[in-house]
């Protein structure tokens, strides 16, 4: 049995040495064949040379480098595509997710014959209340909009088996939202509760702007429900316009309601055509949703052979 530990890195020179030492202890004490795969996501500091030094000193360590910063999702995807083990563990380089938990996650995966074990954060140290609140709100909103459940309070820290790896490699879409994609795959998934540590040193590589972009990509990548919002709003607007049309009609002929000349026709035209426009956009959005699903080229279904060993 072989395990590949995938570590995406971007400007982590302050912490990558400590991360590497802890990862080496994990694989040194393991009872299985292991390798560490670092994915350099276009780092501009000394991370590249440090990773190269790790690889030259230890044959169990390999490095792939991007031509520029493509983002964590792309880095993890590249790591999975390049992994050759029966299992793969995904962990960030900032030591917020303890590497020492990987053997426990693998043991749970083997014991329960699961295909995936994902880390669920019980405590999030080093994060302010605003970030915790927005993260919680986003996760719950994402679940409401998603066609399939996505585990709450999770990140990319997880362990996957060869079935998941093989399925992931077969997906041709480029703009991936990994948490949603792993949830979409199905298979047998188990949660692993843990306390997330504060970042060891340095600053987060996910400031508010990147978090917003990731949140937007997540909503777009996993669901087409936002496209149908305009359709529902359009239907409601048309219904409201019919009610207001009745009021306008009564007001026009009633001597008890004072109106401005010409307001009836203007109001009706605005209300009616606003509803028609929103309704039309909603219908177009529904068709775009179908196209959106097709261009991703995900398989229509995933066949699981129960006799196949994990």
Q: Does 306 reside within a domain?
A: no
Q: What is the extent of the structural domain holding 278?
A: 225-295
Q: Are residues 147 and 262 in the same domain?
A: no
Domain limit, last residue, from 204, 222, 240: 222
Residues 152 and 81 in one domain: yes
Instruction: Identify whether 53 is part of a domain.
Output: yes
CA angle 262, 263, 265 (to 5 degrees): 75
Task: Assess whether 155 and 242 both reside in one domain.
Answer: no
Residues 80, 136, single domain; the answer is yes
Q: Is the pTM of this model over 0.85?
A: no
Residue 307 located in a structural domain:
no
Same domain, 194 and 231: no
Q: Are residues 71 and 177 in the same domain?
A: yes
Same domain, 165 and 146: yes
Predicted confidence (pLDDT) per residue in 38-56, tens digit: 998 888 888 888 998 898 8
Question: Is there a domain that residue 162 lies in?
Answer: yes
CATH no. for residue 196? Answer: 3.90.550.10
69 with 13, same domain?
yes
Last residue of one domain, picked from the residues 193, 222, 251 = 222
Per-residue confidence band for 37, with pLDDT thresholds at 50, 70 and 90? very high
Summarize pLDDT for 281-309 with one digit per residue, the tens. 766 776 676 676 667 666 544 445 555 54
Rounded Cα distance between 179 and 188, Å, is 15
Residue 72 placed within a domain? yes
Statement to judge: residues 173 and 230 lie in one domain: no
User: Does 7 share its domain with 91?
Assistant: yes
* Same domain, yes or no: 218 and 240: no
Give the number of domains in the chain.
Answer: 2
304 within some domain: no
pLDDT tens-digit map of 206-226: 555 656 666 666 666 666 666
On whether residue 167 sits in a domain, the answer given is yes
Task: Please compute the mean of the pLDDT values over residues 156-180 and round it to a whole number.
Answer: 84
Flag whether 302 is in a domain: no
56 and 31 housed in the same domain: yes
């Amino acid at each position: 049995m072989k395990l590949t530990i995938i570590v995406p890195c971007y400007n982590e020179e302050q912490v990558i040495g400590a991360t590497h030492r802890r990862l080496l202890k994990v694989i040194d004490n393991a009872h299985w064949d292991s390798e560490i795969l670092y994915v350099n996501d276009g780092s501009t500091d000394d991370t590249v040379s440090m990773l190269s030094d790790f690889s030259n000193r230890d044959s169990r360590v390999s490095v792939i480098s991007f031509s520029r910063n493509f983002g964590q999702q792309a880095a993890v995807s590249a790591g999975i595509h390049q992994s050759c083990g029966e299992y793969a563990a995904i962990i960030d380089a900032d030591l917020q997710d303890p590497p020492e938990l990987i053997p426990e996650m693998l043991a749970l995966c083997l014991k329960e014959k699961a295909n995936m074990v994902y880390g669920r954060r019980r405590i999030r140290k080093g994060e302010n209340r605003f970030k915790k609140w927005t993260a919680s709100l986003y996760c719950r909103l994402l679940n409401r909009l998603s066609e399939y459940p996505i585990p709450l309070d999770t990140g990319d820290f997880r362990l996957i088996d060869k079935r998941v790896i093989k399925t992931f490699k077969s997906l041709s879409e480029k703009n991936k939202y990994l948490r949603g994609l792993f949830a979409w795959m199905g298979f047998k998934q188990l949660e692993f509760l843990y306390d997330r540590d504060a970042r060891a040193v340095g600053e987060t590589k996910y400031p508010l702007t990147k978090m917003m972009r990731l949140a937007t990509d997540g909503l777009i990548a996993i669901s087409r429900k936002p496209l149908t919002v305009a359709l529902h709003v359009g239907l409601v607007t048309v219904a409201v316009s019919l009610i207001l049309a009745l009021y306008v009609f009564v007001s026009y002929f009633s001597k008890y309601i004072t109106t401005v000349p010409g307001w009836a026709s203007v109001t009706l035209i605005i209300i009616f055509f606003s509803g028609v426009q929103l309704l039309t956009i909603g219908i177009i959005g529904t068709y775009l949703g179908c196209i959106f699903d097709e261009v991703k080229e995900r398989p229509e279904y995933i066949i699981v052979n129960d006799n196949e060993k994990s």
